[in-house]
């Protein structure tokens, strides 16, 4: 990744010679990104992900490529564009053609304005008029603070696009918010077109290439932008996973089912946030806020309310570029998580209504590059390193001098060494949730060597030479646990060897954090340093079980493939069960935690939209039997304070040990 970053963006800034001349700039950009030659699209793609397209004058063209409105090869662009424009014009006139109301061949009982017959041309006319009115009513409210959208012509254009789109896609109902997806496209095309028009005036017909560009920019004239929106609507929604049910699909299910597809938000939190920022996850669970309450907007409008318009385009660069290969907006849930994590401190600090108010009105995010980089990183930590200042480091607190912190930590190391094997019932994290899967039962007491397996492995890593693959596993795990500047390039295994000790120390510092929990400052985002050791283990596991790492292991060693698969399955199952909303267990904690002063539980926030599943019921799953095997059956109750106590993360610990033992035996073998 680092190697890729050197590319054009920076070089462009470094060469003022062509930056000075706008027309040359266009030419070079075209040459570099749109020539269709080897690597040009790849370069464009990279630039988009790195937020380097902001200065590009042909950004809308890039979007068209990402959305597959146009193919990568420029040869057919002109032809295709003409065709798009023709089709759009045709559609527009066809759908707005009501001449059949004068058609005398239709029986006049049907063909009259008062007819209730659905076949009546009048019926269609009135329906269309209604739809137009509804759309228009929303369109005039697009982005109140952007002057462009107060323009009558623009509003009419947007209404037309949406109207034609609705006609072309009868399976989709018009839903408020669609116009806000159209807005950035209109904005971008308008801006680029007017910029380009200036250049054209100055350099009329000087270059053959410029002429060619002229034609291309012509696409962004009012006609084609409509087509593009249609394409946009068409292209992303196939995402079967993310947008299921599709963003704006009609509600065909029973009325009890939420038609607006809340699942993406809930899933993003359950699947990703839970693993990336457990404290925040617990906080949300504790607040009782379903992610869809604040997440719906972000998913529906693709962050249109979270960023300023110009910045939004940068975010979309990345979203669209990323979606090119798969035609799914795969990055969206990760950006969603990144936004939450960026605001984590504020969220963790607040209680009840204040927290809710914040969640529903998150402040604009200044660091877009960081946000995108972070989203890419949390999706694929092995390929993308963590950006340095995201989430932002905390302000230095004068109350906690560094020296005492170190002392505390050292003490904790001692403690963790002795206490690894013992369940610990304290650990009152202020943000910890009472939520705890009741369907999970406690494991049988594990032998000390078993319990210390993973930690032991990590510790030994600093002293002993372990196999390359095993060290990669631990390194991957370690990195997740000890995320923090400076980021570690995952591929550099040798550099990582020294990091193994970090696993142990992070576990120790987790104790330290627990001890210092009395202070009201919320923990920093740093999965390994924020909470209880079992959480650390969870994070470790997540990475340990990361399929890619597994693959790596498998490539080098003869590890039992079936065992690994099962472990991964179990992990997935457990994660599913962990989330209190709509998972396999009841959202109500068995024993609600009462705040000491009663102030913090004042509001239970929005009414839950989910249907609680009876306690102890696992969702039907192919892996259910595996869970049975792994989960011990002693049926002991969860902790009374609802917190997963240290070392008592039931199945996780079992798994952790299994995985650790696996890696250890592998390491031994190699030796």
Partner 1 sequence: MSYAYLFKYIIIGDTGVGKSCLLLQFTDKRFQPVHDLTIGVEFGARMITIDGKQVKLQIWDTAGQEAFRSITRSYYRGAAGALLVYDITRRDTFNHLTTWLEDARQHSNSNMVIMLIGNKSDLESRRDVKREEGEAFAREHGLIFMETSAKTAANVEEAFINTAKEIYEKIQEGVFDINNEANGIKLGPQHSPAAAGGMAAGGLGGSQGGGCC
Please report, as ranges, the residues that interact with partner 1 according to CB under 8 A: 137-138, 140-141, 143-144, 173-177, 180, 251, 255, 257-260, 292-293, 296-297, 300-301, 305, 353, 356-357, 360, 591-599, 602-604, 606-607, 609
User: Is residue 280 within 8 Å of residue 274, measured between CB atoms?
Assistant: no
- Closest contact distance (angstroms) between CB of 353 and partner 1 is 5
Looking at beta carbons only, is 143 or 162 nearer to partner 1? 143
The CB-based long-range contact list for 588-595 (8 Å cut-off, 24+ gap) reads 588/612, 589/433, 589/434, 589/435, 589/436, 589/642, 590/436, 590/438, 590/637, 590/638, 590/642, 591/434, 591/640, 591/641, 591/642, 592/434, 592/642, 593/434, 593/641, 593/642
Looking at beta carbons only, is 117 or 349 nearer to partner 1? 349
Cα 504 from Cα 540, distance rounded (Å): 11
- Closest contact distance (angstroms) between CB of 575 and partner 1 is 26
- Closest contact distance (angstroms) between CB of 357 and partner 1 is 6
- Closest contact distance (angstroms) between CB of 599 and partner 1 is 5
C-alpha distances (whole Å) from 478 to each of 459, 466, 485 are 11, 15, 13
Q: How many CA atoms lie within 13 A of 132 on its CB side?
A: 14
User: Is residue 25 within 8 Å of residue 18, measured between CB atoms?
Assistant: yes
Q: In DSSP terms, which residues pair with 646 in a beta bridge? A: 424
- Closest contact distance (angstroms) between CB of 276 and partner 1 is 24
- Closest contact distance (angstroms) between CB of 147 and partner 1 is 11
Looking at beta carbons only, is 153 or 562 nearer to partner 1? 153
- Closest contact distance (angstroms) between CB of 354 and partner 1 is 9
Cα 166 from Cα 152, distance rounded (Å): 21
- Closest contact distance (angstroms) between CB of 580 and partner 1 is 17
Q: Look-up: residue for tokens 């680029």? A: 192
Looking at beta carbons only, is 8 or 352 nearer to partner 1? 352
Maximal C-alpha separation, the chain: 94
- Closest contact distance (angstroms) between CB of 280 and partner 1 is 19
- Closest contact distance (angstroms) between CB of 593 and partner 1 is 7
- Closest contact distance (angstroms) between CB of 289 and partner 1 is 10
Tokens of 415: 């403690």
Cα 524 from Cα 393, distance rounded (Å): 8
C-alpha distances (whole Å) from 179 to each of 233, 474, 546 are 11, 47, 39
Q: In DSSP terms, which residues pair with 249 in a beta bridge? A: 172
Looking at beta carbons only, is 257 or 325 nearer to partner 1? 257
Looking at beta carbons only, is 177 or 647 nearer to partner 1? 177
Q: Percent helix, strand and coil across the chain, each rounded to 5?
A: 60, 0, 40
The CB density around residue 207, as the number of other CB atoms within 10 Å, is 14
Cα 182 from Cα 461, distance rounded (Å): 53
- Closest contact distance (angstroms) between CB of 476 and partner 1 is 37
Rounded to 5 degrees, φ, ψ at 424 are -130, 130
Looking at beta carbons only, is 233 or 506 nearer to partner 1? 233
Cα 511 from Cα 527, distance rounded (Å): 13
Looking at beta carbons only, is 607 or 614 nearer to partner 1? 607
- Closest contact distance (angstroms) between CB of 29 and partner 1 is 34
- Closest contact distance (angstroms) between CB of 155 and partner 1 is 12
Looking at beta carbons only, is 209 or 358 nearer to partner 1? 358
Cα 371 from Cα 379, distance rounded (Å): 12
Cis, peptide link before residue 245, omega less than 30° from 0: yes
User: Is residue 554 within 8 Å of residue 561, measured between CB atoms?
Assistant: yes
User: Which of helix, strand or coil describes residue 375?
Assistant: helix
Looking at beta carbons only, is 357 or 389 nearer to partner 1? 357
Looking at beta carbons only, is 563 or 594 nearer to partner 1? 594
DSSP for 194-239 reads HHHHHHHHHTTT--HHHHHHHHHHHTTSHHHHHHHHHHHHHSSTT-
The CB density around residue 360, as the number of other CB atoms within 10 Å, is 12
Looking at beta carbons only, is 262 or 484 nearer to partner 1? 262
Looking at beta carbons only, is 39 or 592 nearer to partner 1? 592
Cis, peptide link before residue 371, omega less than 30° from 0: no
Cα 188 from Cα 516, distance rounded (Å): 50
Looking at beta carbons only, is 267 or 409 nearer to partner 1? 267
Cis, peptide link before residue 391, omega less than 30° from 0: yes
- Closest contact distance (angstroms) between CB of 134 and partner 1 is 8
The CB-based long-range contact list for 270-273 (8 Å cut-off, 24+ gap) reads 270/575, 270/576, 270/578, 270/579, 270/581, 270/583, 271/333, 271/575, 272/333, 272/334, 272/337, 272/378, 273/337, 273/340, 273/341
Looking at beta carbons only, is 484 or 589 nearer to partner 1? 589
The CB density around residue 131, as the number of other CB atoms within 10 Å, is 16
């Amino acid at each position: 990744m680092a190697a890729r970053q050197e590319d054009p963006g920076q070089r462009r800034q470094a060469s003022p010679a062509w930056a000075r001349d706008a027309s040359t700039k266009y030419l070079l950009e075209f040459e570099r990104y749109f020539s269709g030659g080897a690597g040009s699209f790849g370069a464009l793609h990279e630039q988009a992900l790195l937020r380097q397209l902001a200065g590009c004058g042909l950004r809308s063209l890039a979007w068209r490529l990402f959305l597959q409105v146009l193919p990568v090869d420029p040869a057919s662009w002109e032809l295709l564009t003409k065709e798009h424009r023709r089709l759009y014009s045709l559609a527009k006139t066809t759908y707005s053609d009501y001449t059949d109301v004068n058609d005398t061949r239709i029986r006049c009982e049907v063909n009259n304005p008062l007819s209730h017959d659905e076949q009546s041309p009048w019926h269609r006319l009135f329906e269309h008029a209604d739809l137009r009115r509804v759309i228009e009513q929303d369109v005039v409210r697009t982005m109140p603070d952007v002057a462009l959208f107060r323009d009558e012509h623009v509003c009419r254009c947007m209404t037309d696009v949406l109207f034609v789109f609705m006609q072309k896609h009868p399976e989709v109902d018009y839903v408020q918010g669609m116009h806000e997806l159209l807005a950035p496209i209109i904005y971008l095309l308008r801006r680029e077109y007017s910029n380009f028009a200036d250049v054209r005036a100055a350099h009329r017909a000087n270059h053959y290439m410029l002429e060619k560009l002229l034609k291309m920019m012509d696409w962004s004239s009012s006609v084609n932008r409509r087509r593009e929106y249609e394409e946009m609507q068409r292209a992303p929604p196939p995402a079967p996973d993310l947008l299921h049910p599709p963003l704006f699909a009609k509600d065909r299910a029973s009325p009890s089912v939420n038609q607006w597809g809340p699942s993406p938000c809930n899933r993003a939190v359950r699947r990703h946030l839970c693993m990336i920022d457990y404290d925040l996850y617990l906080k949300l669970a504790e607040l009782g806020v379903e992610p869809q309450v604040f997440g719906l907007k972000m998913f529906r409008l693709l962050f249109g309310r979270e960023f300023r318009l110009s910045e939004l385009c940068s975010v979309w660069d990345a979203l669209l570029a990323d979606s090119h290969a798969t035609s799914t907006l795969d990055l969206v849930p990760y950006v969603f998580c990144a936004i939450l994590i960026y605001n984590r401190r504020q969220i963790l600090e607040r209680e009840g209504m204040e927290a809710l108010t914040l969640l529903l009105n998150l402040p604009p995010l200044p660091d877009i590059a960081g946000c995108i980089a972070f989203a890419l990183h949390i999706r694929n930590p092995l390929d993308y390193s963590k950006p340095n200042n995201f989430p932002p480091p905390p302000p230095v607190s004068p109350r906690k001098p560094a020296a005492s912190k170190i002392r505390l930590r050292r003490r904790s190391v001692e403690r963790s060494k002795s206490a690894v094997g013992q369940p610990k019932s304290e650990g009152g994290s202020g943000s910890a949730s009472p939520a705890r899967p009741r369907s999970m039962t406690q494991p049988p007491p594990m032998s000390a060597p078993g319990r210390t397996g993973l930690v032991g492995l990590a510790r030994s890593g600093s002293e002993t030479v372990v196999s390359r693959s095993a060290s990669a596993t631990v390194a991957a795990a370690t990195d997740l646990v000890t995320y923090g500047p400076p980021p570690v390039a995952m591929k550099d295994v040798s550099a990582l060897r020294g990091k193994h000790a970090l696993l142990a120390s992070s576990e120790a510092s987790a104790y330290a954090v627990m001890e210092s929990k009395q202070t009201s400052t919320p923990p920093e985002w740093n999965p390994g340093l924020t909470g209880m050791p079992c959480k650390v283990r969870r994070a470790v596991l997540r990475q340990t079980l990361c399929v890619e790492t597994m693959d790596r292991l498998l490539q080098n060693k003869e590890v039992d493939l079936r065992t690994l698969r099962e472990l991964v399955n179990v992990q997935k199952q457990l994660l599913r069960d962990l989330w209190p909303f709509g998972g396999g267990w009841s959202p109500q904690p068995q024993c609600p935690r009462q705040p000491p002063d009663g102030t913090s539980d004042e509001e239970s926030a929005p009414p839950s939209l989910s249907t609680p599943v009876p306690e102890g019921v696992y969702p039907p799953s192919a892996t259910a039997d595996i869970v049975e095997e792994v989960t011990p059956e002693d049926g002991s109750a969860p902790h009374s304070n609802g917190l997963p106590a240290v070392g008592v993360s039931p199945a996780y610990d079992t798994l952790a040990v299994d995985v650790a033992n696996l890696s250890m035996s592998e390491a031994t073998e190699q030796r």
